[in-house]
Each structure stands twice: as structure tokens, then as C-alpha cells.
Amino acid sequence: MTSTAIAHPNIALVKYWGKRDEELILPATGSLSLTLDVFPTTTTIELTGEKDDVVILDGAHLSGSESARVITVLDLVRELSGRDERARVTSTNTVPTAAGLASSAAAFAALAVAAAHSYELDADARTLSRLARRGSGSASRSVFGGLARWNAGVDDETSFAEPLEWRGPELAMVIAVVSSARKSVSSRNAMRRTVETSPYFPAWVESNAVLLDRMSEAVTTGDFTAMGELTEQSALRMHASMFGAVPPVRYLTASSVALFDAVAALRDSGVEAYATADAGPNVKTLCRASDADSVVARLSDAMPSVEYVVAHSGRGARIAAE
Ligand code: 2P0
């Protein structure tokens, strides 16, 4: 049985940063994201008669902790389906891996969907989200298209994402690719360091839970302005919590900060745009789809050396047409 699934990255508007359970990947707070329509990951799973699982990412065989995360998800699917064949997993990213453009979210969402299909597990979307979460927390959200909220939950059963309906204007995300170099500290290690050493971490957890409630309200009412303001707040507070770690975690570069300034200048001139950034220097600007071209033009004027990609709301993880 061979199954191929496709999934897209998501960008959190309310961020996930810090776990309260590292093994189950239970987050310290809930988060909320937009799944994009660019940079898909395609994952094929073939069941084999071999003794071990094989994991190939962009043509390279993975080993150690990188393949262990994939095997964790395969083991869970095998347990649920009552089967024990080994698998050959071949995954292809179209986004630079580990550059803060959420490749692991798309990868593990595609893995969960392809594995459930291969092992003939009749999994509903919530189960797929929980399975994806065990590979990478943010992947729980890429199971769904459009806006999704990952409810923190209190245990494995209650920590999953769900899709949210958006009745506001069509959204766009302008991605400024400041650098596609591999990040120096993985988000997993950076999160752990923030949890263990940053005096700001408890304040981050408390305030982000409030932002999530407000963002959920903004989504329900279709309030784009509130969505944008909350998006910037969550991003900056997340990075502030990292600045307080010992040693500090600093993903933002001078170019990232200049882009936040350029986005603020856009707002001052009447174009509603809001910046966010993840575990890397790239800056993503949330705007109305109708403003995306002018956002690209204005940011290109301010920062001509950066590459810009316009993304819109994309679909959730699914089996690719056979
Ligand atoms: C997010 N990030 O909400 C946040 C914002 C990065 C910054 O989720 O350890 O790869 O596999 O659960 O999901 C990146 O972390 O971490 C992330 P693990 P993940 O999108």
C-alpha cells in the first residue's frame, strides 16, 4: 500500500512557544494560525517487509532524533491500527527546511494523513491533528485549512486543533525571506531554554492565553483590525520571552526589525498591515488580500534586497489525487 499526502505550512497569529509536556507535546498555551497556499510538503509512505522504518527527507536518509520523531508518529498509527509493518517514508519540502518557515508543520501533518491512509486507520480530523502534534506541535494546525486554533488541552485526548470560520475580508500573508539559512538553534531547544531560564516565560503564558481569547473573538466577529493588532502583540511577546532566556534566544536580525518598522510605516500611511515572525529572521506581514500588491511594493522599496512571496489561505492536509 502506497499513500501520498500533501500539506501546507501555517503561520501562527497567536504563537505556540513552550511546552508543559515534552513527550506528549502539550503546549503551555493554545495558539491560532492561518494555513497557507504556498510551500507544500509531499510525503509518500510505502509499507515494506523490512525490519526498520526508513525516512528520507529531500533525498537524504534521516537518522537519530530527526527520524525518531517520524517513527514516533508511525508507532502511534501502528498501535491504533493494530498493524506492525515497517514503512518507507519519502518527504519533499518546497520550503527551505528549518528556516523558520514552518516546514515541520507541513511535514508532520502530511505524515499523519499519509500514515493513517497507508495503515487503513479510519481517523477523524481530530485524531489526525493529535497524531500530527506528536511529531511537531505546530503540525496539529496544518491538518486544517484556513484558520485553526490548537486548544492547549490538559492531556493527549484534549490537545488538538480545530478549524475556525472566518467571515472577514480575504487574508494574505506577505512573506519576506530575509534568510533561508538553517537556524542556529532548533525551536524545540529554544523553547526548552525559554521555559527553563526566562523570567518572562510565566508572563508570556498568562498574556498569550488572554490574546488567544481576544483573537478567537476577533475571528468570530470578522474583525480584521483586532486580528492584526493581536498578531503583532503575540509575536513580539513571544520574542520578548526568548530575549529573557539564558543564554538569550534571538532569531530576529537587524533586517527583521527594519521590516517591522516598514510595516508600521505602511500602517501610518493607511494600509492595514501587521508583522509577525517565528523561529527565524523571516517576517510575515498579514494584510487584506486586496492590499497584498501594495504591501509588496512598499516593503520592496524599504528593503529591496529581500525576496517577497505572497501567500493566501490554503487547504488542509489531504491525500494527493492518485
Ligand atoms: C508557532 N513556532 O506557533 C511557533 C511560533 C515557532 C514560533 O511552532 O517542538 O516545530 O516540534 O513542537 O512546532 C515551531 O515549533 O516545535 C513553532 P515542536 P514546532 O508556529
Single pTM value for the model? 0.97
Residue 100 contacts residue 282 (beta carbons within 8 Å): yes
How far, in Å, CA of 1 to CA of 88, rounded? 11
- Is residue 322 in a domain? no
Query: How does DSSP assign 242-257, residue by residue?
Result: HHTSSS------HHHH
Q: Is 146 in the pocket of ligand 1 (CB under 6 A)?
A: no
> Does residue 146 sit in the same domain as residue 245?
no
The cell for 198 is 526566562
* CATH, residue 264: 3.30.70.890
Q: Does the C-beta of 187 come closer than 6 Å to ligand 1?
A: yes
279 lines ligand 1 (CB under 6 A): yes
154 and 79 in a common domain: yes
Do the beta carbons of residue 44 and residue 2 sit within 8 Å? Answer: yes
Give the Å distance between the CA of 100 and the centre of ligand 1. 9
- Check pocket membership of 278 for ligand 1, CB cut-off 6 A: yes
In this structure, the answer to whether residues 140 and 183 fall within a common structural domain is no
- Check if 137 has its Cβ closer than 6 Å to any atom of ligand 1: yes
Tell me how many domains the chain contains. 2
Residue given cell 500530527 in the structure block: 132
Q: Report the CATH number that the domain containing residue 42 is assigned in CATH.
A: 3.30.230.10
Which of 166, 182, 208 represents a domain boundary (last residue)?
Answer: 166
The residue type found at 228 is: G
Say whether 242 sits in a helix, a strand or coil.
helix
Is 70 part of a structural domain of the chain?
yes
- Do both 202 and 102 map to the same domain? no
Give distance in angstroms: CA of 102 to centre of ligand 1: 7
pLDDT, tens digit only, all 322 positions of the chain: 799 999 999 999 999 999 999 999 999 999 999 999 999 999 999 999 899 999 999 899 999 988 999 999 999 999 999 999 999 999 998 876 545 576 799 999 999 999 999 999 999 999 999 999 999 999 999 999 999 999 999 999 999 999 999 999 999 999 999 887 766 899 999 999 999 999 999 999 999 999 999 999 999 999 999 999 999 999 999 999 999 999 999 999 999 999 999 999 999 999 999 999 999 999 999 999 999 999 999 999 999 999 999 999 999 999 997 5
In 3D, which of 235, 302, 217 has the Cα closest to residue 268? 302
Tell whether 156 and 192 lie within a shared domain. Answer: no
Q: Which domain range does residue 73 map to?
A: 2-166
Q: What is the ipTM of this complex?
A: 0.99
Q: Are residues 151 and 177 in the same domain?
A: no
HSE-CB of 11 using CA atoms within 13 angstroms: 31
